[in-house]
């Protein structure tokens, strides 16, 4: 590619016909500065002749009970609005060559009235309905304006029309569906041929991909549905290819920076510890311990993800790994996402270490807790212990990151509940020691597509087995008018030694309101339904000392019931708490619900999870089983909360729950994408594009295996692209 053409593409978008300086300013506001940017501003969807029906045909569909969405095109023949008191209703009449149809708006009539003018042509998409007078009707449909010329072209030549999501910054400059199409059409005709290829020739050939020029042209103005599909695949592939290159580079980077910490099993510390452990490890725990141990014994630094459903016993596995490090005269640290969880870990580990010291007098292992809310003197003491290696196991929160924290000899790091931490944080932690081995633990099973992408730089170990004699939690969904009966159940069960959590969701993200809600319920329950029980209250506005105190009271059974906001969400382990009641359960996210349910069922008693929700949702759920596979994205959006609750009732399997969660959240909202340090995915659907992910991964890993620094001539282009377009994402790689 010669430099002249590159200059063309780097020109301001203002030089594209009918843009000019003023509109260029608006384009700049939405990140479109150059002609190149404009070419890569792709349509959000297309209108394809094969999916459009005539009015007459659509009417037949309606009569035959068709229940899906469909699209018709018509010319506006009448716009009529009617007032009913305060309310204004808008009815727009359309016709095509076969008949009439109408669209109705019950809201926003004033606005829509200004959108539809007689003689204009629109494509209208929605579920068809029958009006009072038996006519074909669409209520609040999606619609797109098209020109008459486009309509003819489209119907007769089978053209496919693009639609762009037009940001309001452009709309205010009077750039609508028609003008954006004209502007982009001009840019594509004139400049798309000059785009420089961003994928290696060989890869394009071998995978039968469209080259960038063809792909851009066909993404905007496809010559056929097949070409449109190919264009999309090309951009998906490109996105995944570079993502996987980054993954491969990172993995390579970790693996080649030898820690030199090849540890050994030096003493009987581990076997002594196993003797004081009150239970036998499950086979799955033993298996992953083997994998972890291998990493620790080798010179290769460990970067391992330990996955396992809530309650499977990850903590004890990580503790044994920490003891291996201590056996080798290193310090080990475990970082938890909340103070209360860090506190609990510190307590549990201390108890176990004391048991160990009682039985084996030489084995005095010191545990230190470092969290944000500590008193200054306390904190100074802890910092000193850490710096002098008086502390062997350091438990903490984010506070462990702080500069003041200086480990004398950190050899092993555990990060609990991984999804809250990103790669940057991991790296920062690693820099605090001499290339310590890192184990990250996640209670949320990670769907396969994510472990291939966002977590692809980690080795993965899975605990797929629960400790023996665990009964699975019984989950039920109840409408809130059943609360009195539920409270009765809680009272009855407390006579059998059951303890209960009663959880209220965060109200509008406000801590103040949260406090108020929890306190109000606490006072109310104490004097009414649960007046015969001992109640405790815990919420996010308490200091960690207060929270700790409440948790200890609860653990010691001084409360029968702990009323709580979501502060108890992660990791907390109270063996006799076997009922959890979640109020307004529809407000919780799916993985949050699963986490919360994981707070019970940790002993051998039958545990219960009671999801309480509005009558409407509870009823919806009892009526029918909804399968995600048969719902449109609009329907998924509508029934999200009901589906979440139904999923909870139907399964205890964390893996299934994570898959459903991913489907419900959609590709745009993958947890932690931003903090993961990976580029944002614009084209790929992490739920549906599994095969393409696997393919891109294979190709990318192969390239990095052969040429880890991307120095070969054939990889020059890749290197250049990575360093220019992905410079933010390659910090932890051998190319940086
Ligand atoms: P998670 O994996 O969710 O972090 P924990 O590590 O908190 O789970 O373990 C849950 C409970 O199970 C703890 O009380 C722990 O002591 C207990 N536990 C762990 N491993 C076993 C085992 N092999 N047999 C019986 N109980 C176990
Ligand atoms: Mg845990």
What are 564-614's pLDDT values in tens digits? Answer: 887 665 656 788 899 999 999 998 888 889 988 988 987 778 999 999 998
The minimum-distance atom of ligand 1 relative to the CA of 310 is 3
Instruction: Say whether 17 sits in a helix, a strand or coil.
Output: coil
Q: Is 443 in the pocket of ligand 1 (CB under 6 A)?
A: yes
Domain topology for 269-297+312-442? Rossmann fold (3.40.50)
Q: What pLDDT score was predicted for residue 174? A: 84
* CA 314 to ligand 1 center in whole angstroms: 7
Q: Quick: pLDDT tens for 73-119.
A: 999 999 999 888 878 899 999 999 999 999 999 888 888 898 899 99
Q: What is the DSSP letter of 364?
A: -
Provide the residues around ligand 2 (an ion) whose CB is within 5 A. Answer: 571
Instruction: Say whether 182 sits in a helix, a strand or coil.
Output: helix
Q: Is 141 in the pocket of ligand 1 (CB under 6 A)?
A: no
Same fold: 47-163 with 474-651? no
- Residue 619 region, left (φ>0) first, then alpha (ψ -120 to 50), else beta? alpha
Report d(CA 498, CA 600) in Å as an integer. 11
- Measured from the Cβ of residue 140, the count of other Cβ atoms closer than 10 Å reads 13
Q: DSSP H helical segments within 260-313, as ranges?
A: 269-276, 283-297
Q: Which of 284, 306, 316 is the best mutation target for the ligand 1 pocket, counting ligand atoms within 8 Å of the beta carbon and taking the most?
A: 316
Is the CB of residue 66 less than 8 Å from the CB of residue 128? yes
- Measured from the Cβ of residue 679, the count of other Cβ atoms closer than 10 Å reads 15
Structure tokens at 486: 């539920």
Size of the chain in residues: 736
Is the CB of residue 530 less than 8 Å from the CB of residue 502? no
Q: By C-alpha distance, which of 531, 551, 547 is closest to 539? A: 547
- Counting as low any pLDDT under 50, the low residues of the chain are 1-3, 668-673
Kindly list the domain boundaries of the chain, sorted by start residue: 47-163, 269-297+312-442, 474-651
Q: Which of 314, 465, 467, 571 is the best mutation target for the ligand 1 pocket, counting ligand atoms within 8 Å of the beta carbon and taking the most?
A: 467
* CA 251 to ligand 1 center in whole angstroms: 30
Compute CA 391 distance to the chain's CA centroid, rounded to the nearest angstrom. 36
Q: Is 282 in the pocket of ligand 1 (CB under 6 A)?
A: yes
What number does CATH give the domain 474-651?
3.40.50.300
pTM of the model: 0.72
Q: Is 43 in the pocket of ligand 1 (CB under 6 A)?
A: no
Q: What pLDDT score was predicted for residue 230? A: 97
* CA 290 to ligand 2 center in whole angstroms: 19
* CA 288 to ligand 1 center in whole angstroms: 14
Domain topology for 47-163? OB fold (Dihydrolipoamide Acetyltransferase, E2P) (2.40.50)
* CA 306 to ligand 2 center in whole angstroms: 11
Scanning the structure block, which residue is given the tokens 């000193």?
384
> What is the chain's Cα-based Rg?
30
Q: Is 344 in the pocket of ligand 1 (CB under 6 A)?
A: no
* CA 444 to ligand 1 center in whole angstroms: 16
* CA 59 to ligand 2 center in whole angstroms: 57
Q: Is 285 in the pocket of ligand 1 (CB under 6 A)?
A: yes
Q: What pLDDT score was predicted for residue 631? A: 62
Q: What pLDDT score was predicted for residue 282? A: 96
Q: Is 444 in the pocket of ligand 1 (CB under 6 A)?
A: no
* CA 602 to ligand 1 center in whole angstroms: 7
């Amino acid at each position: 590619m010669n430099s002249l053409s590159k200059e063309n593409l780097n020109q301001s978008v203002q030089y594209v016909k009918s843009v000019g300086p003023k509109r260029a300013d608006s384009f700049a506001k939405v990140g479109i500065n150059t002609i190149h940017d404009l070419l890569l501003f792709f349509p959000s969807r297309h209108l394809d002749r094969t999916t459009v029906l005539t009015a007459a045909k659509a009417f037949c569909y309606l009569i035959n009970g068709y229940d899906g969405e469909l699209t018709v095109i018509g010319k506006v023949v009448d716009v009529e609005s009617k007032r009913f008191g305060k309310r204004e209703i808008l009815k727009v009449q359309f016709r095509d060559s076969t008949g009439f149809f109408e669209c109705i708006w019950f809201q926003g009539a004033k606005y829509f009235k200004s959108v539809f003018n007689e003689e204009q042509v629109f494509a209208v998409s929605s579920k068809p309905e029958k009006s009072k007078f038996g006519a074909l009707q669409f209520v609040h449909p999606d619609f797109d304006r098209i020109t008459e010329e486009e309509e003819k072209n489209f119907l007769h030549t089978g053209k496919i029309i693009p639609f762009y999501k037009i940001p309001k910054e452009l709309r205010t400059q009077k750039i609508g569906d028609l003008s954006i199409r004209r502007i982009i059409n001009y840019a594509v005709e004139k400049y798309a041929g000059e785009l420089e290829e961003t994928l290696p020739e060989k890869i394009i050939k071998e995978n039968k991909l469209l080259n960038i020029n063809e792909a851009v042209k066909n993404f905007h103005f496809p010559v056929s549905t097949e070409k449109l599909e190919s264009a999309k695949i090309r951009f998906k592939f490109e996105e995944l290819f570079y993502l996987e290159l980054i993954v491969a580079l990172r993995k390579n980077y970790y693996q080649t920076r030898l820690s030199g910490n090849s540890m050994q099993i030096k003493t009987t510390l581990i076997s002594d510890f196993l003797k004081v452990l009150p239970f036998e490890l499950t086979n799955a725990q033993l298996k992953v311990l083997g994998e972890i141990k291998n990493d620790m014994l080798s010179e290769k630094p460990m970067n391992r993800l330990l996955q396992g459903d809530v309650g499977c016993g990850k903590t004890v596995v990580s503790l044994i790994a920490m003891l291996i490090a201590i056996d080798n005269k290193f310090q080990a640290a475990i970082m938890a996402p909340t103070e209360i969880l860090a506190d609990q870990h510190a307590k549990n580990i201390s108890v176990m270490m004391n048991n160990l010291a009682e039985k084996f007098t030489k084995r005095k292992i010191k545990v230190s807790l470092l969290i944000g809310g500590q008193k200054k003197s306390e904190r100074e003491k802890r910092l000193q212990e850490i710096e002098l290696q008086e502390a062997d196991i350091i438990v903490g929160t984010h506070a462990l990151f702080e500069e003041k924290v200086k480990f004398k000899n950190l050899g092993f790091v555990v990060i609990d509940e991984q999804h809250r931490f990103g790669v940057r944080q991991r790296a920062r932690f690693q820099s605090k020691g001499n290339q310590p081995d890192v184990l990250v633990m996640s209670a949320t099973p990670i769907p396969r597509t994510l472990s291939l992408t966002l977590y692809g730089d980690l080795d993965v170990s899975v605990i797929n087995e629960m400790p023996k004699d665990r009964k699975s939690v019984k989950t039920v969904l109840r409408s809130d008018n059943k609360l009195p009966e539920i409270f009765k159940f809680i009272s009855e069960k407390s006579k059998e030694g059951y303890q209960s959590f009663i959880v209220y969701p965060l109200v509008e993200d406000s801590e103040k309101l949260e406090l108020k809600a929890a306190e109000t319920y606490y006072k109310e329950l104490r004097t009414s339904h649960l007046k015969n029980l001992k109640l405790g209250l815990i919420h996010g506005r308490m200091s960690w000392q207060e929270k700790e105190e409440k948790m200890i009271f609860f653990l010691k059974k001084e409360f029968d019931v702990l009323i709580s906001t979501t502060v108890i969400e992660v990791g907390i382990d109270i063996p006799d708490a076997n009922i959890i009641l979640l109020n307004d359960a529809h407000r919780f996210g799916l993985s949050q619900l699963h986490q919360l349910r994981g707070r019970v069922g940790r002993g051998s008693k039958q545990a219960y999870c009671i999801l309480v929700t509005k009558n409407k949702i509870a009823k919806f759920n009892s009526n029918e089983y909804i399968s995600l596979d048969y719902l449109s994205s609009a329907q998924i959006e509508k029934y999200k909360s009901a589906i979440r609750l139904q999923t909870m009732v139907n399964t205890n399997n964390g893996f299934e729950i994570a898959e459903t969660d991913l489907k419900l959240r959609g590709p745009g909202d993958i947890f932690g994408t931003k903090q993961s340090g990976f580029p944002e995915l614009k084209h790929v659907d992490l739920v549906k594009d599994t095969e393409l992910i696997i393919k891109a991964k294979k190709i990318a890993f192969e390239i990095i295996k052969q040429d880890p620094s991307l120095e070969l001539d054939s990889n020059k282009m890749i290197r250049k692209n990575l360093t220019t377009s992905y410079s933010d994402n390659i910090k932890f790689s051998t190319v940086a």
